[in-house]
């Protein structure tokens, strides 16, 4: 138990470091840029209606105070962390004066749900079929899966999402291709709303599953075909241990270990995929928000989305890491 505690402690230090460095990087990348959030904001406001130069000067003072851009960088950095701790990164520009954090928190559940559901489906289906394909290497149906996986695996998320959009948007329009839920349904814990959400999630989720499937399938197939040559599998076979036990308790159980590490390493990539998929299907998650923020020149919102993304991905990896000693008893002994 103590060794598990130390394992968790080590991982927790890493999590803190990831969040610290990642968030600091976002801060410095944005603050070392020549773009001033104040001027961007002023430009936007001035575009929408005409103001007197005095009024603009007033506004500039207010905004400078708000963003703190007149202070030295280091002080801004400290203030940034203080505000972040309070969950306040300033008002969003594109939805002024809604706080950027509020927008992020509205979008976060959509992305998390999409990511978790599609990752679980992909991970389970890919590994299960991959394991079968690695064990029964002469099965034709499983070989066919292998070919499909090889063809789909390397294709960028965008292309798969876009092909699905064309297929179900133009060729055979049976599924909703845009938004998180139908316009005529009021959000709430109603059956209608849930059904609409599920329906709208199908295409984004399917595109993520299609691309992700190959990674797990091919990885697991290769791992299993190596594990079946291990002495302990041969020995169990020689001893006449039940097939299902060998498959589950010996082969898959051991091949799973690197796959769980892979899952932790994969979360960042899948997150990138989610962003692009959301954009293609106009899904109301973090990805769409990030792109809108970039094109709206929304300084606070970009910072908020990046910060939360890095933190969320870090936490997700942390959670997967915690599972690791539970499936590999050898880790605890370290």
Q: Closest Cα partner for 325 from 235, 250, 264?
A: 264
**Torsion over CA: 158, 160, 164, 167 (sign):** positive
Asked, as a colleague might, if the bond just before 97 is cis with ω within 30 of 0, I would say: yes
**Is the separation of the CB atoms in 125 and 333 below 8 Å?**
no
Q: Name which of 43, 4, 22 is nearest 299 in CA terms.
A: 43
* Min separation Cβ 90 and another protein, Å: 16
Nearer to another protein, 183 or 239 (CB): 239
**DSSP class of 36:** -
Residue with Cβ nearer another protein (44 or 193)? 44
Task: Specify the residue for token string 């963003």.
Answer: 67
3-state class of 32 per DSSP? coil
> 78 or 150, CB closer to another protein?
150
**Nearer to another protein (CB atom), residue 162 or residue 193:** 162
Q: Which candidate, 159, 255, 257, places its Cα nearest to that of 207? A: 159
Q: How far is the CB of 8 from another protein (least distance, A)?
A: 15
CB of 28 vs another protein, minimal distance in Å = 10
When the beta carbons of 209 and 224 are compared against another protein, the nearer one is: 224
Minimum CB separation of residue 312 from another protein in Å reads 9
The residue (of 54 and 231) whose beta carbon lies closer to another protein is: 231
Closer CB to another protein, 77 or 193, in the complex: 77
Task: State in angstroms the smallest separation of the CB of 224 from another protein.
Answer: 11
Read off the DSSP letter of residue 92: -
The C-alpha atoms of residue 269 and residue 48 are separated, in whole angstroms, by 39
For the bound state, the minimum distance from the C-beta of residue 128 to another protein, rounded and expressed in Å, comes to 18
Judged by CB, which is closer to another protein: 190, or 272?
272
Quickly tell me which residue has 């505000």 as its tokens: 83
- Cβ closest to another protein, residue 7 vs residue 193: 7
Nearest one of 60, 181, 209 to 110, comparing CA atoms: 181
Rounded to a whole number of angstroms, the minimum distance from the CB of residue 208 to another protein is 13
Find the shortest distance in angstroms from Cβ 201 to another protein: 21
Is 83:27 a contact under the CB 8 Å cutoff? Answer: no
Residue 221, judged by CB atoms within 10 A of its CB (0-12, 13-18, 19+), counts as: buried
- In the chain, alpha helices (H): 2-31, 37-48, 53-67, 73-85, 100-135, 140-152, 157-166, 191-227, 231-238, 243-245, 253-281, 286-295, 299-327
Smallest separation, CB 78 to another protein (Å): 21
Distance between CA atoms of residues 40 and 194, nearest Å = 39
């Amino acid at each position: 138990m103590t060794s598990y505690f130390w394992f968790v402690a080590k991982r927790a230090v890493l999590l803190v470091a990831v969040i610290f460095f990642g968030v600091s990087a976002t801060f410095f990348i944005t603050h070392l840029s020549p773009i001033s959030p104040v001027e961007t904001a002023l430009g936007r406001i001035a575009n929408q209606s005409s103001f007197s130069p005095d009024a603009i000067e007033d506004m500039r003072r207010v905004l400078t105070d708000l963003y703190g851009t007149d202070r030295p960088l280091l002080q801004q950095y400290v203030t940034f962390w203080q505000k972040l701790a309070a969950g306040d990164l300033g008002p969003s520009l594109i939805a002024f004066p809604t706080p950027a954090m509020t927008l992020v928190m509205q979008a976060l559940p959509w992305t998390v749900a999409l990511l978790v559901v599609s990752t679980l489906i992909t991970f389970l289906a890919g590994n299960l079929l991959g394991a079968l394909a690695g064990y029964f290497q002469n099965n034709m149906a499983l070989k066919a899966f292998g070919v499909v996986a090889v063809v789909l695996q390397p294709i960028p998320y965008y292309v798969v999402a876009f092909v699905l959009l064309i297929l179900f948007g133009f060729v055979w329009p049976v599924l909703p291709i845009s938004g998180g839920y139908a316009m005529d349904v009021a959000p709430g814990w109603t059956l209608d709303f849930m059904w609409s959400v599920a329906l709208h999630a199908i295409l984004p989720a399917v595109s993520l599953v299609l691309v992700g499937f190959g990674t797990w399938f091919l990885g697991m197939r290769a791992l299993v075909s190596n594990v079946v040559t291990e002495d302990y599998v041969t020995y169990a076979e020689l001893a006449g241990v039940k097939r299902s036990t060998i498959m589950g308790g010996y082969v898959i159980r051991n091949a799973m270990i690197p796959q769980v590490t892979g899952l932790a390493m994969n979360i960042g990539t899948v997150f990138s995929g989610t962003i692009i998929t959301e954009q293609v299907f106009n899904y109301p998650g973090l990805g769409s928000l990030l792109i809108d923020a970039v094109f709206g020149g929304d300084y606070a919102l970009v910072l908020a989305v990046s910060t939360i993304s890095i933190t969320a991905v870090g936490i997700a990896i942390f959670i997967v890491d915690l599972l690791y000693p539970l499936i590999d008893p050898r880790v605890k002994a370290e």
